[in-house]
Every structure is written in structure tokens, then in C-alpha cells.
Structure 1
Amino acid sequence: MLEYPAKDQTVDLTVTLEQAPIGGDKGAYLVKCNVDGAKVYFDNDFKGEVKDGELLVEIYTTGTPYKMISVEADGYETYTAPIETYPAKGESVELDVTLEQAPIGGDKGAYLVKCNVEGAAVFFDGDLKGEIKDGKLLVEIFTTGTPYKTITVEAPGYQSSTVQIQQHPAKGETVEVDVTLTPEPTQTQTPLSLFPVLGALGLCSALFLFYRKN
């Protein structure tokens, strides 16, 4: 029964969206991955990027079946696995992918900067190294280079934070640095001082008496 709201009344309407059926002779793979922006390939054919943890890839059930799935992202080891289940017409098959962080190679170490503000800019001795994403930023450095001394993190609306680097990573090692940004204090209007007000009132009274006598 459809209910209409009376004057000044609110009627709640609940809507449930169902996933659209896959049309034609199509099925689909639902690729789920722990890294947003990861690139997905089926037999070396690029299919798209993971967004909000998943990517829907439609395929023709009458076509040549794909055999391999590969998923890659910067800073992570490439994932490759055989495709062993094939969707029927109108069906979706879920493929779960977990990317592992790639080991640091060469004479490199890294700092893992963790921060509570997404998009905050990270500087090492004044050099911009990137922005915080998903609460962190991995910054690789050469262990044979001149050690950095300070890390500065800043974001609009927050007080910038600078920390002294106390520990330097060895080859293949990652040092974690936690930075917490605090919001800038809200500016409050300074109340008008009582003395200038009283002075102004006194001046007005004196002028009034002066003109009255004259």
C-alpha cells in the first residue's frame, strides 16, 4: 500500500538495489583485491583497475576461456594464478587476490610514515616524498646515501609536524615513523578592551559639556 505524507509528516521509503543481470551470452569475474588502483590482466589483456576493493570483468561464455589472472601495483609483488573456474551465462565467479608488499632491493631501506590525515604531504629535509594514502606512505632511501635528519608532515587545516629521525634503516629494512597531526586552533575574536571603551565615553562626555557651556 502506497502511503502519502500528511502535512508536516515524513514517510520513509526503503529502496533495495539488486545487481543488474549480465546480459547476452555473458558471465563475469568479480576480482577482489586488497590494493586499490591495482591493475588486473587476464592472459596479459588489461581489464581495468581495482576500485573500492573490487573489479567486475565481464566475459563471453562462448569465447576462448582465459587461463591466467595477473594483478600488479607499485610497491607490491605481482600476483599470478591460473583461472580454474569459469562463469556460466549470467553467473559471476569471485576471484580473491591478496598482494604482498615487495621486498626492498639493492642497497635500499625504507621509512614507513603513518599519519592520521589522508593526503598529507610528507617531506624529508624539505624534499617532498609523496602524500599519505590509506594512512601511510612508504619512502625508499639508499642506505649508502647521506642520512635524512627530519620528517615534516603537513596538511591544510592542520598544524604541521616535524620529527627528528632517530633511527635509520639498514639494507632491506623498514623503519616505521608515526606522525599525528592536530587541527589548527580556531581563531576567536579578541574582545574589545574595557579601557578604550571607557576612554571614548569619557571623551564624548567632555565634548558634550564643552559645547553645552559654549
Structure 2
Amino acid sequence: MKMKCEMIRSLVMFLLAGLFMLSCAAVADDPLNMTGYYEIRSNVENASVYFNGEFVGNIEKGSLLVQAEMSNRPVNHQLMIHAPGYTTYNETIVQAPKPGKSNVIRGTLTALPPPKTGTLSLAISPPGGEVFVDEVSYGIVEQSGIHVLRDIGAGYRSIEITLPGYKDWFERVYVEPNMNTKIRVTLTPVTTGSLLVSSEPSSANVLINGAIVGVTPVTIPDLPPGPVKVTLTLHGYQDWNGETHVMVGETIPIFGTLTPIVVNTPEPVNVTPEETPTPEPTQSPVFTGTIAGALAIMIICGKKR
């Protein structure tokens, strides 16, 4: 009986050990237990969370759960939490979470102080121009000539005023924080015009009323109003001549097409030399007489024999 009890106990222990091993294997194979998490907590709701430079979500109800891979070695993850009007939180994470566990990371954002601003009061003559601050339009000047700009960021600002018929006004102005900076501006009328000269081909010399002023393409400013003669010259091309009228405050475009100079080369003339007839050989009279004399002597000698 005692032996049977021992056998039953051994069998039960064996079964329990097997069940334990199976449960361990199941836990090991469970992907949820092979994954860890970072619980990102922040004091700013809807703050944006970036993990290794990638957006992973927003803080909701104070936290955001970010899945992380397991590693037995130190890791290097870059965490950034950002929200408008707050400082940006940055942290380098070097410890990986344990399987099925979460590492809590708290990122506290600090509210930025409100930006300092000032007021800019412009007295502009004549009125009607458009005002730009740092290349952003701030409206048209009313007939009173007074243009007040409020809540302008303190510090140096680029102010530009444009009005047709007048030269653009530009100046760097320092806006005092919590103060009213006053500036008086008088626009200067435009009394000249410009020419925008281009050509085909380019790089042609430009002459205005006979004086060289540049090479195409070129803008020629500050020309007095009235008629002008424009000449374009380029080596290998015929001169181009034109006339236009300079208008105050306007840029007149001029385009000239240059014609290549064609050099006419005479065609070669093929001259065939005439054949000179070869004269037929003629016998010299002396030679003929010599032969006749020799024949006569031979005949006489033959008769004597």
C-alpha cells in the first residue's frame, strides 16, 4: 500500500512538473510577454510625442504607451515631447523594459513666458501706401497718414512702405517692448524710369544714346523720362537699333534679335587648260641635201667601174 502511494505521488509530481514546463513554454511563446513598453507621462495634454524622430502619438489623459523591443543590452532611444507655448522635453533612453512590463518616463514641459511686444506708430506722407513688417503686409495707410501697429514683436524689425509713383522706403527699426515707437516717413517721388534690355543671343553690348551701359540681359535704372535710342552690338552679328520712350516710375522691356553676319565666299572656278597641238616633225633642208649628194656620188662611182 505504501509503495502504491509513493508511485501515485511520483506520478502526480511528474504531471505537475510537465504542466509547469508547458506553462513556461506558453509564456515564452506569448508575444505579449516578449514585448515591453514605455509609458510616457507629461503634464501637458495633447503634447506630441516623438520616438527616435518619428511621431508616435499625443498625450491623452496624462500618458502615452509606446511599444518597445526587448534587448539585453543598453539601448539608445531618443524621446522628444513638444507642445506649442512650452519648452521641448528631450531625453535619451538607455534601458529597455522587461518583457510584459512598462518603464515609466516623465517629461515635464515648462510654459514659455509670453513674448514681449510693442507698438509702432507711423506718420506717413503721402498716405495710401502699403506697410510691410518683416515682409508681411500690415495694411494700407489711411488718408490721415497715421498707421498704428500693435503687438509687434519687440526687437529689430524690417519696415517697408510702397506707393506707386514713389520710391520704396525701407529701414530697420527697433521696437521697444511695452512702449510706443513713433516714426515719421516722407516718401520720395520717382522722377526717373528704367529699361529692361534683353537679346537673342545674350551678352550683347547695350548702348543708350551711344553710351555703353551694360551687357544683356540688364536693367538700366534712373533714366530721365523721354525718348532714347537703344543699340545692341555683338561680334559676328549686325547691330540692332531701336527706340523707346522712358516713362516715370515704369520699367520698359526691350528685346532685340541679332542677325548673324553672312560672309559670301566666291565659288572656285575650274579652268581647264587648252591642249597645245604637237607639231609634226619636219626634215631639215640641209639634211635632205646631204642625203641627195651622197646618193649622187654613189651613182657616179658606180658608172666609173
- Identify whether the pair has TM-score above 0.5, normalized to the shorter chain: no
Structure with more of its chain in strand, by fraction = 2
Structure with more of its chain in helix, by fraction = 2
* Bigger RCO (CA 8 Å, 6+ sep): 1
